[in-house]
Amino acid sequence: ETGVTQSPTHLIKTRGQQVTLRCSSQSGHNTVSWYQQALGQGPQFIFQYYREEENGRGNFPPRFSGLQFPNYSSELNVNALELDDSALYLCASSLSGTSGSYEQYFGPGTRLTVT
Amino acid sequence: LAKTTQPISMDSYEGQEVNITCSHNNIATNDYITWYQQFPSQGPRFIIQGYKTKVTNEVASLFIPADRKSSTLSLPRVSLSDTAVYYCLVGDMPGANNLFFGTGTRLTVIP
């Protein structure tokens, strides 16, 4: 069973640039969630994708966007980077059904630094 | 919005039992309670999940009173490797708008 993987591990970007982060879900999982974790803080929910559709969004501006592909892998895109976007970006996959709660499996994260 | 409140930090000696309590006064009927563990520079790792009463697995127990407004994560006989941040979450599905990690409880295990 393959776990959740993310790429790249680290990334340095300049303010105003755009970035794409990638996530491969755990085998058999159909749902991907993205989180932003600033230093010393808990993860903050950005959005979730289920069967290639956005299925919930946190309090993040539209310049944070995403995609989920037929193989359930996912991308997080951030446009017009700001210094405050510097954080650890976490991807979590899970298997969603009709109701109830689900265990999420997190990847190791991508550390983004905006200068 | 079912947010949670946890102690910011706790210290414990090796071999002791550690209980971390989380308050979630606005928990909804469909919400589950889930605990995660996170080491520095790693993603959170699922520990345990429950809806009511008591749940036990190979690493922890989760106690939930009848009113479900709080929950207690119990770690038996902690070791140095249990030093981490522990998060309590409530929600009915991962990624729903009511899923909130908070700042967690930083547990330090002392030799």
Whether omega for the bond prior to residue B111 falls within 30 degrees of 0, making it cis, is: no
Mean pLDDT rounded to a whole number for chain B: 90
Is B48 in contact with B63 (CB distance < 8 Å)?
no
What distance in Å separates the CA atoms of residue B13 and residue A94, rounded to the nearest whole number?
35
Residues of B in contact with A105 (CB under 8 A): 46
Cβ neighbourhood burial of A20 (10 Å; 0-12, 13-18, 19+): middle
- The residue of chain B with its CA nearest to that of A96 is B93
> pLDDT of A74-105, one tens digit each?
999 999 999 999 999 999 988 776 455 567 88
Q: Is A53 on the interface with B (CB under 8 A)?
A: no
pLDDT for residue B25 is more than 80: yes
Candidates B42, B95, B104; nearest CB to A55: B95
Which element (helix H / strand E) includes B90? strand B84-91
Q: Is B87 on the interface with A (CB under 8 A)?
A: yes
Instruction: Give B24 or B3, the one with higher predicted confidence.
Output: B24
Is A90 in contact with A109 (CB distance < 8 Å)?
yes
Nearest Cα neighbor of A75 from A10, A2, A24 is A24
The SS3 assignment for B20 reads strand
Q: pLDDT at position A51, please?
A: 85
